[in-house]
Amino acid sequence: MRIGELSKLSGVAVETIRFYENEGLIPKAARSMNNYRSYTESHLKRLQFIRHCRSLDMSLEDIKLLSDVGARRNEEACKVQEIISRHMKKIDEQINALKELRQHLGLLSLCCHGNHANGEPCGIIEGLNSGACCHNCENLKVKRTVKKTDLSKHTNL
């Protein structure tokens, strides 16, 4: 099948399929006589595997490792467990960071005094400008920057 059909069947954009192929997440497609890529059912299955992993927020690096282990089917089950455990730990860290973020937002919401009709400035905006409502704003900035860096690994998905 050609790339458009594979895209339609898998729900993965054509550009993403090419990206996955270039990154080694799916095998290179054979070329037909007119130089079109020719994909098989195994490509479709691999894309479905990738989509399932992505739905669990796994990185492309981990997906590649899982694919490689799955392709060898030898006694590397401990590697799979290690990848899943590492991913669960990352999720726990994200949950803790989100809880802390929510706590900071709760403190910030306390800055709202509701006197906007009297011409007073919004307490939340004032708090954001000064950082006064965040007891730990500098640490929060660092954590958010780290999280953005983590997410940059997942571009072109």
The tally of domains found in the chain comes to 2
Within 8 A by CB and 6+ apart from 64, the residues are: 23, 24, 25
Average pLDDT on 132-143 reads: 50
> 91 and 51 in one domain?
no
Take residue 98 and report the two structure tokens written for it. 């989100």
Residue 75 counted as domain residue: no
Identify the sign of the CA torsion 33, 34, 37, 42: negative
Q: Which domain holds residue 13?
A: 3-55
Question: How confident is the model over 65-110, as pLDDT tens digits?
Answer: 888 776 666 656 678 888 899 999 999 999 999 999 999 888 888 8
Residue 63 counted as domain residue: no
Residue 74 counted as domain residue: no
Residue 82 counted as domain residue: no
> 92 and 46 in one domain?
no
In the predicted structure, residue 147 carries a pLDDT above the cut 50:
no
Average pLDDT on 150-156 reads: 41
| 122 compared with 90, residue with greater pLDDT | 90
| Separation CA 143–CA 79 (nearest Å) | 29
